[in-house]
Copies of this chain bind each other. A is one copy, B any other.
Amino acid sequence: MINLAIGIDIGGTNIRVAQVDSDGRVLKKIKRETSEDIVKNLTDAIDELITENTAGIGIGVAGVVDSKTGVVSRSPNLPQVEGIDFAGILKEKYGIPVRIENDANAAAVGEKFAGAGRRFDDFVMLTLGTGIGGGVVIDGSLLPVAAELGHITVEAKGRKCLCPNSGCLESYASGRAIVSEVIEELERGAESLLKGCCDGNIYKITPEDVYNYALEGDTLARETLKNAGKYLGIGIASLVNIFSPQAVIIGGGLVGAWNILVNEAIKEANKRAFPELMKNVEVLPAGLTDNAGVVGAASLVLYSDITR
């Protein structure tokens, strides 16, 4: 019985390769560094995991994947994967189906397959980490588009993004944005308990630190998170007006700051989106957490097997 898939998550500094079963459970997992020869690292790991019951290989990669060719056309955080046709190479070597998607698109399919998206036909997925990724499921299927939802403009004359744009949602509501804002304020001499964080090295502050200090009542930490939440809500309102979804599912590391960040976002989105659309929308955390990357990738094969 063929009911396994290999899920590959190609992220910032690591590659994770896992054997995933048809219930979305991770049976075995291998972690490799993204050193020079990514393809070799990948095939070594696959060789260890592949069995005759492996239905296919799914890959989620942090970057823009050309939907026609499957080639990674842009990956700002991982330039060494640009131009590589992973799907073509692996299909040729192993002779089984291979699907590749942007990692947030894969996360959306993972949520539909085995996470918080199971009970929805239409939802928008946002992954809040260092940056902001997105994926959209309509009528139960992944929308085959770039869905770079972190790169919609929320401030026309706003902060310069890492992409060519200024004022992107990601420049206001990502982990990177939150930490930058806190550091800038501290550099300007703002009073905050965060000055004592990380043995006094403010350049080591993480989004988690900001959240923890906010919970302790620090004003700078709290206001920074609330401001990020406001912008997240502006983005959510635009996405609700576009996609009229049943749910907005939020994953990634910043989900830990839900009580401040996302609650503020929900409040703001309620003020801004069309009321007759927003009233149908549940905003909820992703169901897949630790293994979201590899399960999402594997679900590109497992879920399409189930539905198509």
Given contacts A231-B156, A238-B153, A244-B67, contact A143 B147 (CB under 8 A): no
**Count of A residues near B, CB < 8 Å?**
44
A228-270 CB contact bits vs B (8 Å, 1 = yes)? 0011001101100111110000000000000000000000000
Q: Is A73 an interface residue (CB 8 A)?
A: yes
CA A20 to CA B60, docked complex, whole Å: 46
The interface stretch among A8-16, A88-96, A272-280 is: A272-280
Q: Is A29 an interface residue (CB 8 A)?
A: no
Q: Is A38 an interface residue (CB 8 A)?
A: no
Q: Is A122 an interface residue (CB 8 A)?
A: yes
Using CB atoms, name the residue of chain B closest to A148: B241
A142-161 CB contact bits vs B (8 Å, 1 = yes)? 01111111011111101000
Contact present for B154 and A153 (CB under 8 Å): yes
Contact of A274 among B143, B156, B164, B230 (CB under 8 A): B164
Write the nearest CB–CB distance from A172 to chain B, whole angstroms: 8
Contact present for B165 and A272 (CB under 8 Å): yes
Q: Is A187 an interface residue (CB 8 A)?
A: no
Q: Is A271 an interface residue (CB 8 A)?
A: yes
Contact present for A149 and B276 (CB under 8 Å): no
Give the residues from 101 to 122 in chain A that come closer than 8 angstroms, CB to CB, to chain B.
Answer: 122
CA A122 to CA B163, docked complex, whole Å: 23
Most buried by B among A145, A153, A245: A153
Contact present for A275 and B241 (CB under 8 Å): no
Q: Is A74 an interface residue (CB 8 A)?
A: yes
A203-246 CB contact bits vs B (8 Å, 1 = yes)? 00000000000000000000000000011001101100111110
Q: Is A294 an interface residue (CB 8 A)?
A: no
Using CB atoms, name the residue of chain B closest to A67: B244
Write the nearest CB–CB distance from A68 to chain B, whole angstroms: 10
Contact present for A242 and B275 (CB under 8 Å): no
Kindly list 8 other residue pairs between chains A and B, CB separation below 8 angstroms, not including A122-B145, A151-B274. A64-B274, A139-B144, A148-B274, A148-B277, A149-B242, A151-B241, A164-B275, A165-B271
Task: Give the interface of A toward B (CB within 8 A).
Answer: 64, 67, 73-74, 122, 134, 138-139, 143-149, 151-156, 158, 163-166, 230-231, 234-235, 237-238, 241-245, 271-277
- The 6 A-B residue pairs whose C-beta atoms are closest, nearest first, are A146-B244, A152-B238, A148-B241, A165-B272, A151-B241, A73-B276
A-B contact pairs, 23 of them (CB 8 A): A74-B274, A138-B144, A138-B145, A145-B245, A146-B274, A148-B241, A148-B242, A149-B242, A151-B238, A151-B241, A151-B274, A152-B152, A152-B238, A152-B241, A152-B242, A153-B154, A153-B235, A153-B238, A154-B156, A156-B234, A164-B274, A166-B272, A242-B242
